Structure 1
Amino acid sequence: MPEPRSTPAPVTLEEVARVAGVSRATVSRVVNGVSTVDEELREMVTRAIVATGYTPNRAARSLVTRRAGAIGLVLPDEGRMLGDPYFGRVVGGVMDVTQPLGVQLVLTSAGTGTHQQVVADLRQGRLDGVILIHTHGADPLPRLLIESNLPVVLAARPVRPMPITYVDVNQTAGAALAAHHLADRGCFRVATITGPVSTTAAQDRLSGFRQAMADRGYPDVVAVEADFTHEGGATAMEELLVRCPDVDGIFIASDLMAHGALPVLRRHGLNVPDDIAVVGFDDSSPALACDPPLTTVRQPVEEMAAEMARLLLGRIERPTRPVSAVVFEPTLVVRQSA
């Protein structure tokens, strides 16, 4: 009769400390999300956690800290979540930080009842804090959380000034990169397809592009609004060709919209980039799926999402810490479309 297999003993803090080359106290501080740990030490401990397979005892830790050991990630409606690779990249970046620490990530999509549910989950201790993705100017949730003094980080500059911690990319600088690239190619009749102008990302990309084109001597930029979706990009391109039939350079404010727009150009007998140069924004998987592969402005989504998670955990640990803004710089990735 075979002997029963013994269950491997759980990895201890001491073992993690030995692998990381730090003290047990340092490992404990990292696992508990203490924000004052030196960043280099935090990275060493995180690597050791992954290498040893250490799993924090969330239930025991919750008894000591009186925390849920869980944070929320509030995404747009489910249809957009499934269709846009941006959101999967955000989830991956957040989990790079939370998973090694044993912090559970709870996903929810915006919709009826979401605001009240998020506030209730925080007040009743089911969540320790939340990250909000893509809010618009009329969204009351950021203000509700601020007024309730609950830990929150926003994944964009707020539409209206408010005391909230946020992470963003320099949207105007990214759009300016697109403008200068099109101008350097010799494009003189330039247009843009924007995202929904109720969002700061769309507003800043539009203003940055227009200002940079004006600086290069082209103040007349036709703009068509879309919704950051594949279908929206296709529809907007049809409208743009009616409004601006002699266009020779287009900045499309997301790769996903560009992926929908490029087939429209082909149907109208226009070659990219010989007839029309096209630049996108994001450097996501649709950029490589475009035909031809899309020249685009890269925003480091995974790094930005990881920073959101770190900032939120810091606010959970020390709720009185001042609000802050972290802005990443974009880069231009040149491919075959422009």
Structure 2
Amino acid sequence: MSTRTVPPKGPRAAPTLEEVAARAGVSRATASRVLRGETNVSERARDAVRAAASEIGYSPNHAARSLVTGRSDSIAFLVDETEERMFSDPFFLGMLRSAHEVLAAAGMQLVFTVASREEDHRRFVSYAAGGHVDGVLLMSLHGRDELPQRLEEAGVPTVLSGRPLLGSADLYYVDADNVGGARMATERLLAGGRRQVATVSGPLDMCAGQDRLDGYRAAIEAGGAAYDESLVSVGEFTLAGGYAAMTRLLERRPDVDAVFAASDLAALGAIRAIQQSGRSVPEDVAVIGFDDIPDAAHVDPPLTTVRQPVHELGATMTELLLRRIRGEEPTPATVLPVELVVRASA
């Protein structure tokens, strides 16, 4: 009897672009265009290539491609907030999820970072300008911060979430209709017979805070009343900020019978303050928020709110940035519509 030693099999070679193309029934060039996120490919071919790549576990060789193209195939998702704020607000997580979906379909990587201090900004600009990312999705810009201008000057294409307060004519951004949404919410409160309609605004060093306050004011004045600053309590887009702002408001104006809060988290904080003061929602004080976060439908009472299309905002930002990276010149500003979602709080 003879014996033979069978050498162990080596690891299977990584799937190749040629295999993806053959499985999808397209040319290698077409498969490559799809996986680079280019748009000059039919929807049928795009779906076939993506399905084939998924089925055989194909992953583009980013290092090799980078040597050829001079690109990193990575996009930074930069949030100009603290980590606590970032991870406590469903808005940012929704934007991050939709951006990741678009980039994954384009065969690109997402680099997530939080930078709320000036030294963080300087370090990030240096990192981005060094070729580590091909572009930046910038969230939650405050005040007259010139971070997007510095990135653009360094040759790093940047798209903002929200209208910038400085240099909006020269920057690319995607926003929701904050003015229209705030006006819609305030008009509903007025139409319900409320007479002392107040607002818990967002931070006024942000475009969303300013624009939602402008929408509230426009509705008040259109309804025939004078804009009354004693009915405005400046807060933050947080539970704690809404609670504190509402507490101050009730101390100053105990006759308030309705409140438009500039975010859902602020609205939930405001409801807590209203209830702790011995009042009820909506019987004594009606409340409307802005965002339509998942918790809005499940609080007591369920929150009437302005829904902004978070998934579409993130996807549109990302697609706009990819077009810029490809050398296209899309329209710089995009404003998406919002809608009022009526529940029990107003």
Q: By the TM > 0.5 criterion, same fold? A: yes
- More contact order relative to length (CA 8 Å, sep ≥ 6): 1
Matched, 1:185 2:192: yes
Supply the distance in 2 between the matched residues of 1:17 and 1:184 (Cα, whole angstroms): 60
Q: Letter of the 2:265 partner, please give it.
A: L
Match of 1:108 in 2: 113
Match of 2:317 in 1: 308
**1:275-307, CA deviations, whole angstroms, 9 ceiling, x for partnerless residues?**
111100000123134321111001111111111
Residue 129 of structure 2 contacts residue 155 of structure 2 at CA under 8 Å; is this kept in 1? no
**1:36-76, CA deviations, whole angstroms, 9 ceiling, x for partnerless residues?**
53684686368536753442221222122111121111111
Residue 194 of structure 1 contacts residue 253 of structure 1 at CA under 8 Å; is this kept in 2? yes
Match of 2:180 in 1: 173
Match of 1:37 in 2: 40
Q: CA deviation at 1:14?
A: 5.4
Return closer, same or farther for 1:280/1:41 CA change in 2, 3 Å cut-off.
Answer: farther
Supply the distance in 2 between the matched residues of 1:225 and 1:39 (Cα, whole angstroms): 50
* Unmatched segments (≥5 aa) in structure 1: none
* Greater alpha carbon shift after TM alignment, 230-239 vs 73-82: 73-82
Instruction: Provide the aligned length of Structure 1 versus Structure 2.
Output: 336
Supply the distance in 1 between the matched residues of 2:174 and 2:147 (Cα, whole angstroms): 17
Supply the distance in 1 between the matched residues of 2:54 and 2:65 (Cα, whole angstroms): 21
Supply the distance in 2 between the matched residues of 1:25 and 1:330 (Cα, whole angstroms): 40
Supply the distance in 2 between the matched residues of 1:167 and 1:334 (Cα, whole angstroms): 26
Which residue among 288, 292, 298 is the counterpart of 2:297?
288
* Greater alpha carbon shift after TM alignment, 43-52 vs 64-73: 43-52
Residue 53 of structure 2 contacts residue 59 of structure 2 at CA under 8 Å; is this kept in 1? no
Q: TM-score, normalised by structure 1?
A: 0.90
Matched, 1:326 2:331: no
Match of 2:345 in 1: 337
Match of 2:150 in 1: 144
Q: CA deviation at 1:86?
A: 1.1
Q: CA deviation at 1:126?
A: 1.0
Residue 30 of structure 2 contacts residue 41 of structure 2 at CA under 8 Å; is this kept in 1? no
Give the alignment of 1:226-265 within 5 angstroms: 226-265=235-274
Supply the distance in 1 between the matched residues of 2:196 and 2:26 (Cα, whole angstroms): 60
Q: TM-score, normalised by structure 2?
A: 0.88
Supply the distance in 1 between the matched residues of 2:112 and 2:208 (Cα, whole angstroms): 22
Q: Letter of the 1:185 partner, please give it.
A: G
* Unmatched segments (≥5 aa) in structure 2: none
Matched, 1:128 2:131: no
Supply the distance in 1 between the matched residues of 2:53 and 2:290 (Cα, whole angstroms): 33
Match of 2:62 in 1: 58
Match of 1:276 in 2: 285
**1:211-239, CA deviations, whole angstroms, 9 ceiling, x for partnerless residues?**
02211223334111111111111100101
Supply the distance in 1 between the matched residues of 2:296 and 2:146 (Cα, whole angstroms): 33
Residue 27 of structure 1 contacts residue 45 of structure 1 at CA under 8 Å; is this kept in 2? no
Q: CA deviation at 1:124?
A: 1.4
Q: Letter of the 2:98 partner, please give it.
A: G
Matched, 1:299 2:308: yes
Supply the distance in 1 between the matched residues of 2:24 and 2:285 (Cα, whole angstroms): 54
Q: CA RMSD in A?
A: 2.5
Give aligned-pair identity as a percent: 45
Q: CA deviation at 1:151?
A: 0.7
Return closer, same or farther for 1:19/1:295 CA change in 2, 3 Å cut-off.
Answer: farther
Q: Which has the larger radius of gyration?
A: 2
Q: Letter of the 1:58 partner, please give it.
A: H
* Greater alpha carbon shift after TM alignment, 138-147 vs 320-329: 320-329
Supply the distance in 1 between the matched residues of 2:91 and 2:62 (Cα, whole angstroms): 29
Q: CA deviation at 1:110?
A: 1.7
Q: Letter of the 2:342 partner, please give it.
A: V
Q: CA deviation at 1:12?
A: 4.5
